[in-house]
Chains A and B, each alone.
Chain A
Amino acid sequence: MPSLRRAKPAATQPTPTGPDAPASSTPTGPDAPVPLTPAEVAAQRRRRRTGTLIATPGALYLLIFFVVPLGLITVYSFATRTATGRTSLSGWNLDSYERIADDVIGGIIARSAWLAFLTTVLCLVVAYPFAYYLATRPPRLRARLLVLVMIPFWTNGLVRIFAIRFLLGSNGPASALSEAMGLGTFRILFTPTAVVLGMVYGFLTFMVLPLYVALERMDWRLVEAARDLYASGAKAFWRVTVPLTRSGIVAGCVLVFVPSFGSYVVPEILGGAKTLLIGSYVARQFQAARNWPLGAALSVLIIVAMLVAVAINQRNSANAERTQGVAR
């Protein structure tokens, strides 16, 4: 699920308009620090109980099927693998974590990070001008173009990667075309290039959407002001537009880097023996290799990377909201 699902930044709305809309990011809540009458206190307590009641089933489900598994995988990462490939939940140790630094696994992690970085940079370079183009169209055209962007975004990710595989296949349409044009056969399938191409194809929209939201929300009068003060177009872009859309840039990079770093389907279909990435390596530990503690330790590593990325993004968007509040 293919990851194609982090539409969040596009979905959330800016601060609500209303009498009680402060420029901060605090969730709109019913209570403000005003002295309350006993009746109000009772009403509030009742609301609190209703809230608990409504939240409980979903929260409990997430606790059992997400938080507990998260804890379990952490526990497993400290366990021992027995000679038969079973996991022994005793004799806790850091062996699996120590192996992260060894040449083979360290190399896989470095390669995954490098390819994810390349993917992120490529996506940014292509998506920024694209989002800029979208955001500067007249509203009706913009809405239509946005639909065209959204359709592949929610379309079956596996099938889209399969399409790339089919296109690039050793005697697939792309190769036939290049031969017909006299360019000779080209082989990029099962190379790192193919993997990066597939990841850009799969995750490009994660970059486009937050950039689009940031550009669309931007106060273009500031660019105009810069131009009035004799800034060149390029200077206005780098000194005004880019800083004002920083929250979108960071969000997009996080949304592309995290799934690329942990991607599994793309390298499995488009990669070869030389492009073993951490996602596939983790999967192997739980399949043929039967080394669950090692797989668990690497999963924990991916989760930590993800949490760091999310934290960076949150801090950044909080900052952005504050500065935008000032600008208004």
Chain B
Amino acid sequence: MSTLGTAGTKRSARHLLKANAWFVFAFLYVPIVVLVVFSFNDSERVNVWQGLSARWYGEALGNTQVIGALRVSLIVAISSTIVSTVLGTAVALALDRYRFKGRRALDGTVYLPIVIPDITMAVMLLVFFAEAFKLIDIIGPRFTLGVTTIALSHIAFNISFVAVVVRARLDQFDRTLEEAARDLYATPWRTFRRVTLPLIAPGIAAGALLALTLSLDDVVISAFTAGPGATTLPVYVFSTIRQGVTPELNAISTLMLAASITLVVASLALQRPRSTTP
């Protein structure tokens, strides 16, 4: 198709299309760029430009609350990524390759955590943990909301995202390669280890990076499953924003931005279909 689409459109329409595209890109990027620029502002007041300085980065990194929240964020992100990558990949494989009881139900359910608005998922999990704690209290140990409940909640939504990404990869998979391995008397396990896994590895890696990104980005679900002793960095930022914008917040936000852009670029690089695959 390439140029056909434009061939039919009038010149004025073409200019409008181009202008609109520029507008959209500006709309997407200008606020981010302004934020980043102002994070290097030396001034106490966010709106007065006083000169370039990394002062607020120093303040932010010297804030024990920030560092504590960052620690929680990292623990939650890494643990939930590991668990959800394993479980999500398994679900994707099962849905793509096998027929089993409850397959349709699983297929229908696995997408729901992706579509459901965050706030709904958050209060669902809050109610769930409240009830679960009541049950556990009867048996003995006392549990409260904290790092563990945040991580458990993040796994719940990340399984779905990993499953979707890995499944997209499995869709493009050349099945004949597996058949060839089997014809050469490879056991199912060996076929999986030596053929399937290496071929879908980029998909799994992309899924894991996505899970990591989403876990580091989540505010709402973390806010409702976090306890008094443990908040994540986005939850800290969210509750601080409501008291007003500070230059320190600009600096923290820019750091978070840098982290997530790094992860996105890595993930996009992984997902790019390679020319060698058919």
Contact = CB atoms under 8 A, between A and B. Distances in A.
Given A13-B171, A133-B20, A162-B237, A148 B25 contact: yes
B21 A58 contact: no
A1 B257 CA distance: 14
Nearest to A17: B278
Interface string A192-230: 000000000100100010000000001011011001000
Interface in B221-244: 221, 224, 234, 237-238, 241-242
Interface in B120-175: 120, 122-128, 131, 152-153, 155-157, 159-161, 163-165, 168, 171-172, 175
B163 A58 contact: yes
B128 A69 contact: yes
Question: Chain B's interface: helix, strand, loop or mixed, by majority?
Answer: helix
Contact of B90 (A55, A130, A145, A303): A55
A38 B107 CA distance: 29
Contacts of B219: 1-2, 157-158, 265
B81 interface: no
Interface string B1-40: 1111110111001001110110111011111101100100
A4, A57, A164: which has the most chain B beta carbons within 10 Å? A57
A265 B220 contact: yes
A47 B155 CA distance: 27
B274 interface: no
B256 A159 contact: yes
Contacts of B265: 151
B112 interface: yes
B47 A279 contact: no
Nearest to A132: B17
Interface in A35-93: 47-52, 54-55, 57-59, 61-62, 65-70, 72-73, 76
Interface residues of B, number: 113
Interface of B: 1-6, 8-10, 13, 16-18, 20-21, 23-25, 27-32, 34-35, 38, 46-47, 86-88, 90-91, 93-103, 106-107, 109-120, 122-128, 131, 152-153, 155-157, 159-161, 163-165, 168, 171-172, 175, 188, 210, 213-221, 224, 234, 237-238, 241-242, 245, 249-250, 253, 256-257, 259-261, 263-265, 267-268
* Leading 8 A-B pairs by shortest Cβ distance: A51-B98, A262-B117, A55-B94, A58-B91, A51-B100, A136-B5, A69-B128, A69-B124
Given A1-B220, A269-B238, 12 more contacts: A2-B217, A8-B114, A55-B98, A58-B88, A58-B163, A154-B210, A156-B234, A158-B234, A162-B249, A201-B31, A262-B120, A268-B238
